Structure 1
Amino acid sequence: MHFVVTGGAGFVGSHLVKLLVEEGHKITVIDNLHKGKKENLASVINKIEFQKIDIRDYESMKKVLKNIDGVFHQAALTVVQDSFSRPEEYFDVNVCGTENIFKLANENKFKVVYASSSSVYGHKLETPIAEDVERNPINPYGKTKLETEHLVEKYSKLNAEIIGLRYFNVFGIGQTPDYAGVITKFLDRIRIGKAPIIFGNGLQIRDFIHVEDVAKANLLAMESNSSNLIVNIGTGNAISILELANMMINTSGLKIEPIFAEALEGDIEKSHADISQARKHFNWEPKIELQDWLTEILKK
């Protein structure tokens, strides 16, 4: 089948492209290379078509998004703290750019699986978090993702086939060390013998999901008979940031203690997924354990 992956040179996108190539699909990657890098696709670059396009460019998108079987929409601006200083740009890329894809999906009758975010939930006292709880994002990034979910409702009524995946905290090789990549940030310091820096008291809980499990969830969502739904993609397991730091320190064998710094603006306290809907609709199950991955990475 012929699939398009937007943001395909980015972290999640590049892992997804490699999986799709392995599965024998024809792939076109769309990326403006603002954050993504072609080097992320080095192992498959001769097996795919690459188009340097900004998803906000409707006419260019229209030329590519025809005679295809589906779009995996990963392109977005994603750094929570950055979104406070650039809210208009975040809206333009994440909402207007996404609407271009949904509009073309409706016109040209292809299915879309796209990246939403657990940021849509905001602060939640009760965990794990199911999809039907109230959505109340506390930062501009989360608000843009909530707007895309409203677009799903709008275009689903027009019979467009769309599935949204609310990613929790994705980790893995190739991630840039922005705060969403707290594991990557901790790794970068531990590898040079420095203590990880924790923003806040470290009691924030997170649900860390490996990027390869996220890529597989995208593929299974596309292959499923489901559409017009939005589901959580996490592990269903929670760990605090302090526990994570200590786990990584212990695994490394270093004799250091975490450093604490001022909490970050827009940082939520609890993020822990109920993944029963992903299991039900896609027969998907996360495979990669955080501790196993850390042991492999830190023992190298």
Structure 2
Amino acid sequence: MEKNILSFLSPLLLLLFLNINLAYAIIPQIEREALISFYNATNGDNWNDNSGWKEPPLQDGFAMHGTENSWYGISLNVENSFVTEINYYDNLLTGIIPPELGNLSNLQELSFSSNQLMGSIPIEIGNLTNLTWFDLYSNQLTGSIPPEIGNLSNLQGLSFSSNQLTGSIPIEIGNLSKLEILWLDYNQLTGSIPPEIGNLSKLQVLWLDDNQLTGPVPEEMINLISLIDNQSDFCGNSLFTDRSIVRNFLNLKQIGGNWEGCQIFSCIADLEGNDNDVDGADISILANNPSLIDLGIFAAEFGTINCMQ
């Protein structure tokens, strides 16, 4: 009788074991749906490589649930229970970044560099609080950097270089206390550098070059104690300072030195021998914004200004 009971229970135990392991090895349905939304939004059928995504047998037009680890560009954790990485370098992605990616709450790396994505960066990206690397280099993205980017408290590397992003650098970027690399170069960002950037004490490399940034560089920049010498870039903007401590600090960090000499308007004011009430800050503001005043009249009244574009 005991033998018969064990014979009856064995198939049930085996089935239970298989079901437990099967459930353990499948990502949540919401994550699978997020991946499918990403595929559809970026014209996955025309990618350079989309292997595995539609390998038969199919379920809702895609490979069976549980096969996501074999989909090109997708990596899961060891137990295959959630998505950890999405990497698509130069894979002919077009279309937009779908908001559904914000449902991948365990995502650690997200890279779409060197593709042809358009549209804006969805605010739902702010839900990816486990993200450590976020790379959108060389696409055709527009709109502003969403302030929700400040929610990514584990981020170590951020690259939005070579897009068409506009608006100002959000102050929330100063919340990224673990950030080591920040590349925002070759966009159309405007406004001034927010003082909050000075909170990024672990930042090693900062590229802000070739935007439309203006105004005085905040003195808080000298708090970037981890910036590596000769590795950052501030050129191609209209930035200035009247603070020697800021000037010297940025010269040390600027690739090739002399960050002021590579601004869009490099101006030299010679006030020697002129009796006036204009201080260095006023001169810098006017010299770096020639549209504010007729420089010829200014020079005749206050001294000599030489500007080169």
Bucket of the pairwise TM-score, normalised by the shorter protein: under 0.3
- Higher CA-based Rg: 2
TM value normalised by structure 2:
0.24
Instruction: Kindly indicate which of the two structures has a greater share of residues assigned to helix.
Output: 1
TM value normalised by structure 1:
0.25
